[in-house]
């Protein structure tokens, strides 16, 4: 299946914490980072997810925010450090490509944000992703 979601990070499930309707699924990405997804219990069951299952974490570029350093005291569970490899800007928006351990990400952010944060190729950044914005597929 071909998807328009370009951010596809391979990993392995390390823990599943079920709730009444939703579950948090923790995975270790191939680059060694930990990532948390919040998905429905129905999805956990339909996909046959369990500890040790190989998956891909899928994140739309519009759901990635960027920071110039790790942030403490934040409810966003996923903070992936990386380095900017390229920026393409348009009139209002920018596409920022980021190398992270074990993969690559693309973030779609405003052009103003790239200017205010002084983003440029080679600069370190932290990709921020809410757990509810991470989808999973079996690998």
Tell me the pLDDT tens digit for each residue of 101-127: 989 999 999 999 999 999 999 999 999
DSSP letter (8 states) at residue 68:
S
Over range 82-95, report the average pLDDT. 97
pLDDT recorded at residue 81: 97
CA angle 118, 60, 43 (to 5 degrees): 145
Q: How far is CA 9 from CA 20, 98, 134, in A?
A: 27, 13, 10
Neighbouring residues of 85: CB distance < 8 A, sequence distance ≥ 6: 97, 98, 99, 104, 121
**Averaged pLDDT of the chain:** 96
In the prediction, which pLDDT does 3 show? 84
Torsion of Cα atoms, 26 then 85 then 73 then 6, to 10°? -40
- The model's confidence at residue 50, banded by pLDDT at 50, 70 and 90, is very high
Among 120, 71, 115, residue whose Cα is nearest residue 96? 120
Report which DSSP code applies to 65: E
């Amino acid at each position: 299946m071909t998807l328009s979601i370009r951010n596809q990070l391979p990993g392995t499930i390390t823990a599943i914490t079920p709730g009444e309707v939703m579950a948090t699924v923790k995975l270790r990405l191939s680059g060694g980072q930990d990532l948390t997804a919040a998905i429905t219990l129905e999805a956990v069951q339909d996909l046959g997810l369990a500890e040790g299952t190989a998956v891909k974490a899928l994140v739309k570029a519009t759901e990635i925010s960027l920071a110039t350093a790790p942030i403490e005291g934040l409810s966003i569970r996923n903070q992936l450090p990386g380095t900017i490899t390229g920026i393409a800007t348009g009139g209002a928006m920018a596409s920022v490509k980021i190398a992270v351990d074990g993969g690559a990400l693309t973030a779609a952010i405003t052009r103003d944000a790239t200017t205010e944060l002084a983003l440029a190729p080679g600069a370190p950044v932290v990709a921020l992703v809410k757990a509810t914005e991470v989808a999973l597929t079996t690998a």
